[in-house]
Amino acid sequence: MNYGYGYGNASQVFGIFALVWGIAIGVSLLIGIVVYVLMGFSFMKLFRKVGVEPWAAWVPVFNLWRILELGGQPGWISLISFVPYGSFVTVVFECIGAYRTGTAFRKDGSWVVLFIFLPYVWAWMLAADGVTYEPSTFTERGWPPPLVGHGSARGPYVPPTAPPAAAV
C-alpha cells in the first residue's frame, strides 16, 4: 500500500540542502582566504616599517605574538587563545598593544576601534602614513619599551645581505 508520504522527494530535499551547504562553505572559504591575504600584506608592510621580520605576518599565531610584542606586551599571551574563552584575554591585551603601537605613530585612542573591526586597514594605514614610528613615546608615557623592532632591547630586524660576488 502506498500512503504517499513523499519518500521520492527526500532525495531532492537532501540535494538542495547539500547544494546550499556547499555554497555556504565555498563562500566562507573564499572570504577567509581574502581576509588572510589582506592581513598578511598589511601586517607585512607594518612590520617592515617598525623593524620586525616581515615573514612573521604570514604565520597565523606568530603574527599575533609579534603584534603583542610590538605593543610592549609579552608575546606568550597569544597562546592563551588556545584555552577555551582565553581568546577574550588575548583580545584585551591585543587592544592594549594596538593602542600603544598607535601612540608610537602619534595616533589617538580612536584608532583602537579601527583595529578591533578592521585590523588590516589599521595596519595598512599606519604603515602607509607619512608619520614616522617613534618608540620613544613608550618610555615618555612610562610604559615598557616594545619587545621587538625599533626601540627594543633586541634591536630591529636586519635582513640578510647578499654575499659579495666572487671575482672571476
Question: Per-residue pLDDT tens for 86-119?
Answer: 999 999 999 999 999 999 999 999 999 999 999 9
Give the confidence band of 12 by pLDDT, cuts at 50, 70, 90.
confident
Average pLDDT over residues 124-137: 87
> Residue 124 above 90 pLDDT?
yes
> Residue 4 above 70 pLDDT?
no
Which domain range does residue 41 map to? Answer: 8-140
Q: Decide if 149 is inside a domain.
A: no
Higher local confidence (pLDDT), 13 or 107: 107
Q: Decide if 154 is inside a domain.
A: no
pLDDT tens-digit series, residues 153-163? 777 777 777 77
pLDDT tens-digit series, residues 78-91? 999 999 999 999 99
pLDDT tens-digit series, residues 22-70? 999 999 999 999 999 999 999 999 999 998 999 999 999 999 999 999 9
pTM flag (> 0.85): no
* Model pLDDT, residue 150: 84
* Model pLDDT, residue 132: 86
Q: Decide if 165 is inside a domain.
A: no
**Which residue carries 532525495 as its cell?**
11
Average pLDDT over residues 12-24: 92
For residue 47, what is its C-alpha cell? 612590520
Secondary structure string (H, E, C) spanning the chain? CCCCCCHHHHHHHHHHHHHHHHHHHHHHHHHHHHHHHHHHHHHHHHHHHHCCCHHHHHCHHHHHHHHHHHCCCCHHHHHHHHCCCHHHHHHHHHHHHHHHHHHHCCCCCCHHHHHHHCHHHHHHHHHHCCCCCCCHHHHHCCCCCCCCCCCCCCCCCCCCCCCCCCCC
Give the confidence band of 138 by pLDDT, cuts at 50, 70, 90.
confident
* Model pLDDT, residue 131: 81
- Number of structural domains (the chain) is 1
Q: Decide if 89 is inside a domain.
A: yes
Q: Decide if 162 is inside a domain.
A: no
Q: Decide if 164 is inside a domain.
A: no
Q: Decide if 168 is inside a domain.
A: no
Which residues are within 8 A (CB) of 68 and not within 5 positions of it... i.e. 6 or more apart?
Answer: 74, 75, 77, 78, 93, 94, 97
Other C-beta atoms closer than 10 Å to the C-beta of 143 total 16
Q: Decide if 22 is inside a domain.
A: yes
